[in-house]
Amino acid sequence: MPYDDLRGFLSTLEKEGQLLRITDEVLPEPDLAAAANATGRIGEGAPALWFDNVKGFTDARIALNVHGSWANHALALGLPKHTPVKEQVEEFARRWDAFPVAPERREDAPWRENTQEGDDVDLFSVLPLFRLNDGDGGFYLDKAAVVSRDPEDPGHFGKQNVGTYRLQVIGRNRLAIQPVPVHDVAIHLRKAEEKGEDLPIAITLGNDPVMAIVAGMPMGYDQSEYEMAGALRGAPAPIATAPLTGFDVPWGSEVVIEGVIESRKRQIEGPFGEFTGHYSGGRRMPVIRIDRISYRTNPVFESLYLGMPWTECDYLVGPNTCVPLLKQLRAEFPEVQAVNAMYTHGLLAVISTKKRYGGFAKAVAMRAMTTPHGLGYITTVVVVDEDVDPFNLPQVMWAMSSKVNAADDVVIVPNLSVVGLAPAAQPAGIISKMIIDATTPVRPDERGHFSTPTRDLPEAKEWAAKIQRLMSEGRA
Ligand SMILES: Cc1cc2nc3c(=O)[nH]c(=O)nc-3n(C[C@H](O)[C@H](O)[C@H](O)COP(=O)(O)O)c2cc1C
C-alpha cells in the first residue's frame, strides 16, 4: 500500500525498526542537526529520527532523516527494507515505464484544519525552526515541494512544476528561494518577471515519501511530477486544490504555504551548508511573500540535514537522478545499460554502454551533459563498457586504470553551465566539463592492444557458494 502522507510512512518506519524516538530533552541547536548528521556516519540502516521534547519549544514534532538510509529509501518505495540499492534502482526504472498515471483529486485535505491569513501569517508560530550547520545564515525549509505554474500556459497540467528548492526564513511571512537557472521554477519566474508579474507559488511541507522523491527528480519540463508519483507508487497520487492559488498540491501534506515570488526583488540569502560539502556563501536571491498558511493540527515539521556527503540528501537524490538519466539517454541510445549518478547529486556520472562504432561512448557522454540534469550538474562523465557495472566501483576503477589513454580518451569541453554552488566553477555557474572514455576502442578506432579480457572461470561461482557454505559451518 503506498503512503498518502508522511504520518503513514513514519508509522511503517517505526514498525520496521527504522524510526528512533528521542525522548530525552534536547537543544534545538546543535542537537537536532547533529543527530541527523550522525545518522550519515553510523553505516547502513540508519533510522529516521523523531523529536518532541525540544528545549524552548512547547509544542514541536520534528522528523529528520526520513529517507536517510537505503533501508528507508526501500520502504518509501514499498520494497522490503533489505532490498539492495542496485535492485531499488532497477525497480524504480521498471515503475518509470508506467508513467503517466493520472492523480486522484480528493476533498477534505487534512491541512485544511487550520489557517493563518494576511497579517496573521507567522511561520514561527507554526514551525519549530532550527539551524542545520553552524555557519548557516538562518533557518531553512529544505525539504519542501514547491508548486508553480508556467505563466504563459497556466492551464497545462504537465508544465505545473513540483520541485524541491531550499527556502530561507527571512521574516514571519517572508522566505528567500534559490532557483537554479536550469530548473523549472527559474523558467516560471523568468517568464513572470518578463511580464512584470509576481509568480504565485504553493509550498508543501511534510509530504508523503514518494512526493519528496519526485520533487527532487530531473524530469522533462512538461512532465508532471504527480503523474510520475502515480507511476512510482503504483496507484494515483492523491492531490487537492490549494485554497488561495488554486494549484494542485499533495493531499496529505502537513503544511501548505501559499504566496508569491515578488517580481524582480532580490535579497541576500545564505550562507547554507550544501550538498557539495561546502557552504554556499551569501548571494542575492528572489524573495517570497506568504499570504496564507494551511496546516494540520499538531503539524509534523520534516527537515533534512545536508552537508559533507553522505547525508539524507544523497539517498534522496540518488536513484531519482540515475533513473531519469538512464531513460533519457536510452530514448536515443538504446545501447546504454546503466547509469550511476549517486555522487554529490550527480556532479559525476558513470555510464555503461555498448558501442555501435568507434567514438560512440563520447557521443553518449555528450548527450548526458545536455539532459535536464546534465545541463546544470554533470561535470564529469566516465563511460565504461557494457560488462562493467557502474555501481561496482572496483570494476569502474579497473576500467579507468586499464582502458584510458589520456591523450585521446579524456575530452575537456570548456565553459559549460553548472549549478552556481559547484565549488570548482570559475566564475560561479561556468565550468569545464570532462569526459573520461574508459571503454575498449572498437573499429574504426583501433588504438591500444587490448587482446582478450580474462573472465572469471566458469567454476568460480560454484566455488564461491561452496566456500561460503564451509565458512558458515565454521570451518574457516
Ligand atoms: C534537499 C534538496 C534541496 C534542493 N535545493 C535546491 C535549491 O535550492 N534550488 C534548486 O534549484 N534546486 C534544488 N534542489 C534540486 C532540485 O530539486 C532538483 O534538481 C530537481 O530535479 C529540480 O527539478 P525541476 O527541474 O523540475 O525544477 C534541491 C534538491 C533537494 C533534494
Give the tens place of pLDDT for each residue, 198-257: 999 999 999 999 999 999 999 999 999 999 999 999 999 999 999 999 999 999 999 999
Question: Each residue of 410-450: pLDDT tens digit?
Answer: 999 999 999 999 999 999 999 999 999 999 999 999 999 99
Question: Each residue of 361-412: pLDDT tens digit?
Answer: 999 999 999 999 999 999 999 999 999 999 999 999 999 999 999 999 999 9
Task: Kindly indicate the confidence band of residue 474, based on its pLDDT and cuts at 50, 70 and 90.
Answer: confident
Return the pLDDT at 44: 86
Task: Kindly indicate the confidence band of residue 475, based on its pLDDT and cuts at 50, 70 and 90.
Answer: confident
Return the pLDDT at 400: 98
Question: Each residue of 18-33: pLDDT tens digit?
Answer: 999 999 999 999 999 9
Mean pLDDT of 316-340: 97
Q: Please list, in sequence order, all residues whose beta carbon lies within 8 angstroms of the beta carbon of residue 394, skipping any fewer than 6 positions away.
A: none
Matching CATH topology for 86-308 and 318-438? no
Number of neighbours of residue 149 by Cβ within 10 angstroms: 24
Question: Each residue of 57-112: pLDDT tens digit?
Answer: 999 999 999 999 999 999 999 999 999 999 999 999 999 999 999 999 999 999 99
d(CA 361, CA 436) in angstroms, rounded, equals 9
Widest Cα–Cα separation across the chain: 77
Q: Please list, in sequence order, all residues whose beta carbon lies within 8 angstroms of the beta carbon of residue 37, skipping any fewer than 6 positions away.
A: 305, 307, 311
Query: Active site includes 274?
Result: yes
Question: Each residue of 140-191: pLDDT tens digit?
Answer: 999 999 999 999 999 999 999 999 999 999 999 999 999 999 999 999 999 9
Pick from 361, 371, 72: nearest CA to 346? 371
Ligand 1 atom 20: residue of nearest CA: 216
Task: Kindly indicate the confidence band of residue 43, based on its pLDDT and cuts at 50, 70 and 90.
Answer: confident
Enumerate the domain spans of the chain: 86-308, 318-438
Cβ–ligand 1 distance for 355 under 6 Å, the answer no
| H-helix or E-strand spanning residue 126 | helix 123-126
Return the pLDDT at 73: 98
d(CA 316, CA 48) in angstroms, rounded, equals 13
Q: Is the pLDDT of residue 1 over 80?
A: no
Number of neighbours of residue 75 by Cβ within 10 angstroms: 24
Q: Which three cell numbers stand for residue 64?
A: 529528520
Predicted TM-score (pTM) of the model is 0.96
Question: Each residue of 291-304: pLDDT tens digit?
Answer: 999 999 999 999 99
State in Å: Cα 179 to ligand 1 middle. 8
CATH assignment, 86-308: 2.30.110.10
Cβ–ligand 1 distance for 318 under 6 Å, the answer no
d(CA 204, CA 82) in angstroms, rounded, equals 30
State in Å: Cα 163 to ligand 1 middle. 6
Number of neighbours of residue 43 by Cβ within 10 angstroms: 8
CA end-to-end span of the chain: 44
Return the pLDDT at 264: 98
Ligand 1 atom 9: residue of nearest CA: 165
d(CA 446, CA 206) in angstroms, rounded, equals 55
User: How distant, in Å, are the alpha carbons of 118, 146, 212 from that of 267?
Assistant: 22, 19, 27
Question: Each residue of 250-285: pLDDT tens digit?
Answer: 999 999 999 999 999 999 999 999 999 999 999 999
> Which of the following CATH numbers is that of domain 318-438: 3.40.1670.10, 3.40.50.2300, 3.40.50.11890, 3.30.70.270?
3.40.1670.10
Return the pLDDT at 20: 98
Return the pLDDT at 193: 98
- b/e code 448-476 from CB counts within 10 Å (16+ = b): eeeeeeeeeeeeeeeeeeeeeeeeeeeee
Using only C-alpha atoms, the chain has a radius of gyration, in whole angstroms, of 23
State in Å: Cα 451 to ligand 1 middle. 45
- Position in ligand 1 atom list of the atom nearest CA 304: 1
Cβ–ligand 1 distance for 200 under 6 Å, the answer no
Cβ–ligand 1 distance for 300 under 6 Å, the answer no
